[in-house]
Amino acid sequence: MTDTFTLQGKRIGFAMTGSFCTFAKALEVAESLKSHGAELTAILSQNADAMDTRFMRAADLRDTLQAITERPLIRTLNQAEPIGPTKMFDILLVLPATGNTLAKLAHGISDTPVTMAIKSHLRNNRPVVLAISTNDALGANAKNIGSLLNMKHIYFVPFHMDDPVQKPKSMVFLERLVIPALAAALVIAVPALTSACPASVFAALAVFCAASALLLACPAAESA
C-alpha cells in the first residue's frame, strides 16, 4: 500500500504512553515515519514524560524525540487542547497505547496530555490509530478494546500475543504493520483521499485487512 500511498507531508501526532519496555521500538517507528516524509509532533503522557526506568531515562526520551521530530513536544493538557481547534494533525498515532490509556479512552476520560490530544483531535472526525501494548489485553481491558474497535474514527495497528506462555493475557502491536495501518486509516477516513486513490490501493487494503485478521486469529503465525 505504501508504494501507492505516501506519508510525505502528512502531519502525524505521535503520542507515547507508559509502556516503557516498548520505548526503543517506538523511537524506531518515529524515525521510520520521519524517513517516509511525515511531519511528526510528539505527545507524552505524564508517566512517559517523567518516569525514569531501566529501559530509558525520561530526559533521554524527550531529547531523542525532540531530535527526531524537530518540533516542540506536547507535554501538558494546556498544550494538547488546541490540537482540535487548530486542526494540527491529519492523523494521530498512539504508540505505545497502554491498558490504562485504552480504559480512559473507552470511558471518555481525558485527564492526560495524550487522552486530551485524542479527544481534541477527534472533534475534526480525523483518524486515531492505536498501537496497543498491555499485559491485560485479554483480561480487564478486553472489553475496552472491544468497545474501541467499534468506535468511529478509531483504528488499530494489528496486534498479537507476545508471550502466550508467560503472559497469556498480554498483547502488543506489530511494528512492521504500523505504516500500512496509518495509510489504511487515512484512505478509509478521508473521503477526498478515497475518491482519488487508484484501485491498487483498495486491493492492497483488502490484503492488509485479511492478513490482520489472520494474525489476530493465529498469534503463532507472527513467529512462523
Q: How far apart are CA 19 and CA 100, in angstroms?
A: 10
Cβ atoms < 10 Å from Cβ of 216: 15
Query: Domain 11-222, what architecture?
Result: 3-Layer(aba) Sandwich (3.40)
Span 56-76, average pLDDT: 97
Is the overall model pTM greater than 0.75, yes or no?
Answer: yes
**Cα separation of 118 and 81, whole Å?**
9
Average pLDDT over residues 180-204: 64
Residue with cell string 511494528: 175
CA–CA gap between residue 18 and residue 104 (Å, rounded): 14
List the chain domain ranges. 11-222
Tens digit of each residue's pLDDT (9 = 90 or more) over 92-144: 999 999 999 999 999 999 999 999 999 999 999 999 999 999 999 999 999 99
Q: From CA 156, how far away is CA 137, in angstroms rounded? A: 13
